[in-house]
Chain A
Amino acid sequence: MRYVIIGASAAGQAAAETLRQWDPQGSITVISDEAQPLYSRPLLTYLLSGEIRPEKVWLKGADYFQEWGFEARLGEEVVQVVPADREVRLASGRVCPYDRLLIASGARPKVPGIPGEDLEGVFTLRNLADWRRLESGLEGVRQVVVVGAGAVGLKTADALMRRGFEVTLLARGAQPLSRMLDATAAAMLMDAVATMGIDLRCHSWPVALKGDGGRVKKLILNSGEELPAQAVLFSVGVTANVDFLEGTGLGDPGGILVDRKLRSRDPRIFAAGDCCRPHHLLSPGQWPYHIWPAAVDQGRVAGANMGGGSRLYPGLLPQNSLSLRGFKIISGGLGPHDTKDCEIVAELDQSRGHYRRLAYREGRLVGLTLVGAVAHAGIYFQLMAQGLPAPEPVTPGLLWG
C-alpha cells in the first residue's frame, strides 16, 4: 500500500504514527510546504511574548521521519490532487501516486479584504515563517492594532503587550469570544484584559488601512475614528487549505466534508484536522472547529481507517482553554447561543473571581464555562463526552466496589 499524507502537523503526524501501527510495511509519504514542521503551532504566541525560547517549540527530534520510516517531502507544496489518476502533484513537478490519501493541510488566516492590506506592517500569525516575519517587522513599532478578539487574537494582544507595545484589540461584537462566553464570563474577561493594559474596542472593525511610503501608518475604524498604528495583525478566523482540490468537488474553503470514518466523498481520500468539516458530538450538522486536540484525535481515527481499521469518529466536542497571565477560562460543549432551551445553573463568586455555568439538557451536561477555578474541567468534559447522566449524585462508596 502507498499512503500519502498532506500536512505534517497535529493531524498529519498523529495519522502517520497510527497508520504505521496498522501497516508496518506500507510506504508512508508525508508532504509539507513547511521546511521545518514538527513544532507546536499554539506556542507561536508564547514565542512572540518571549515566554519561551525558540528551541522549545519543537515537538519531535530532527530524525523523527527516519525513526518512523516515513518518507518526508518537506518544503514542497501540493498544487493538485487528481483523484482519477490517484496522484498528488507538487509545485516542484514531482508526482506522488497513492492508494490512500490523507488531507491534513490545516487552515490559514483570513484577511477581511479592505484597502491597504498589502501595505508593509500588516501581518497574520499561523506558522513559524509568519512569526519570523512579524519579529523583524516589529522593529521601530510603538502602536499595534490586533483585529479580532478570538482566542488567538487575545493571546496575541497579550503577547505584544508584554513586549511593551501599545496594543488596541478590536472585537466586532459586544464582547470577545461571543460564541463561547455568556455576558457574565465575558465581563470578567474584559476586566482582565483591561487590567493587562490592552485597549479593547467592542463593536469595532477596520474599513481601511492607510500608509505612507508603502508602510502602514493608521487604521480607519467603522466609526470613522483613525487609530495610529505601525503594525496591524489580523486574527479574524481561518479558511481551509484546499486550493489543490479545485475541480474535484471534494472541498471548499469551509472545509472538506467527511463521514464518520473521516472519509471524503472519494473513498480513497480521508481528511482530518483544521481542513475538515467533522460531525459534532452534541449537535447536528458538520462544521470545522479548530483545536489541536481534535486534530490529533481525528488524525488517529483517519490513520487507523486508512490502514484497514474501521473506527468511527464520535464527533467533535468544542473545548477551549484561555490562560492570560494566570487568568483562566475554560469553556466547551454548546455555547450560550445554543443553550437557550437548556436548564442553566450559574454561580458567581465575585470576591474570588470564580464563575461556573453549566447547561443541562434532558439530564445531561451539554455546556460548560469555568472562570478562575478550572481544575475540574476534565470531569465535566468526561461527563459530556460520554453522555453520562449528570444530576443524579453518585455515592463514592460505589466507586471502588
Chain B
Amino acid sequence: MKTVIVRPERCVGCWQCRLACAVEHSQTKDLAAALGEGVRPRPRLRIYPGRQHLAFPNKCRHCEPAPCQAVCIAGAIHRTPRGTVDIDPGKCINCAMCAMACPFGVLTYASLYKAPDHRAVALKCDQCPEREAQGRVPACVEACKVGALTYGEWQETQEDKGRVLAQAVFASLQSPRETEPSLPDNLRVWRLLS
C-alpha cells in the first residue's frame, strides 16, 4: 500500500504540513475560508521538538493489524479497501479507548463538521481519500518542501520503529520547550488552526 513516509532528519519544524492538513480536512478546503468555519478544522499530524534535530513529525501509520481497531468498543474503526485505517464519525462515541491503544499517540478528539450534530470524535490521518481519488498526493506531502514527508510504497515493519518512536515522543514530552515553527510568517495562521 502507498503511504506517507516520514524522514524526520529532514524536518525543519515549519508546520506547513499541519496547516495543509487542517485545510484539507476543513469543509471548504480553502485556507482563508477554513479559518472562519464554525467547526474549527484540525490538523491530523503532530510535530514534536527533537533533541538532535529541530523537530520530527508524527502521524498515523495505518498499522496492520491496527491496535486502535482492536479496542474500539463502538466498532467505529475499520480498514478501507485501499488499505488505510479509517474512523467512522457516525459511529465514534468519543470514548478515547483508542488513545490508550495507539502506540504512536496520534489520535486527537475534537468536533468535526462531518459528525452527527458536529460532535467531538476521534481524528487522525486518513491519507486524504478525496485527493487520492483525483490522483493527487496527500496534502501534507504536497506541503512539505524539504522532503521530510514523501509518498510511496512502504513494506518494512513498523513495530521496532514504533518502539523507538514511542521513546522519542516520550522524551520530547518531558522537554519543557514547546514546538515553535521556524517560519514566523506562518505563525498567525497555525495558531488559529492548531
**Interface pair A40/B74, CB less than 8 Å apart:** yes
Known: A293-B70, A379-B103. A326 touches B94 (CB 8 A): yes
The CA-CA distance from A215 to B70 in the complex, in Å, is 43
**Interface pair A400/B105, CB less than 8 Å apart:** no
What is the distance, in angstroms, from B57's C-beta to the closest C-beta of chain A? 10
Known: A56-B91, A296-B70, A377-B105. A321 touches B170 (CB 8 A): no
* Chain A 358-401 near chain B by CB (<8 Å), digits 1 or 0: 00000000000000001111111111001010101111111110
Query: CB < 8 Å: which of B9, B67, B95, B161 contacts A42?
Result: B95
**Interface pair A395/B50, CB less than 8 Å apart:** yes
What is the distance, in angstroms, from B92's C-beta to the closest C-beta of chain A? 10
Query: CB < 8 Å: which of B56, B74, B95, B120 contacts A396?
Result: B56
A46 part of interface (Cβ distance < 8 Å): yes
The CA-CA distance from A271 to B96 in the complex, in Å, is 28
Known: A42-B73, A43-B73, A400-B6. A378 touches B51 (CB 8 A): no
In this complex, how many residues of chain B approach chain A with their Cβ under 8 Å: the count is: 49
Q: Is the interface of A mostly helix, strand, loop or mixed?
A: mixed
Chain A stretch 307-345: residues in CB contact (< 8 A) with chain B: 319, 321, 323, 326, 328, 330, 332
**Interface pair B101/A326, CB less than 8 Å apart:** no
What is the distance, in angstroms, from B50's C-beta to the closest C-beta of chain A? 4
The CA-CA distance from A374 to B105 in the complex, in Å, is 9
16 other contacts beyond A323-B95, A379-B169, A400-B161, with CB at 8 A cut-off?
Answer: A40-B75, A43-B74, A46-B74, A293-B100, A323-B96, A330-B96, A374-B109, A379-B166, A379-B173, A382-B163, A383-B166, A390-B170, A392-B171, A395-B52, A396-B168, A399-B164
Task: Pick 23 A–B contacts, CB within 8 A, sort by A.
Answer: A323-B95, A326-B94, A326-B109, A330-B99, A374-B96, A374-B109, A375-B99, A375-B106, A377-B100, A378-B107, A379-B104, A379-B166, A381-B100, A382-B163, A393-B171, A395-B168, A396-B50, A396-B53, A396-B172, A397-B9, A397-B51, A399-B8, A400-B7
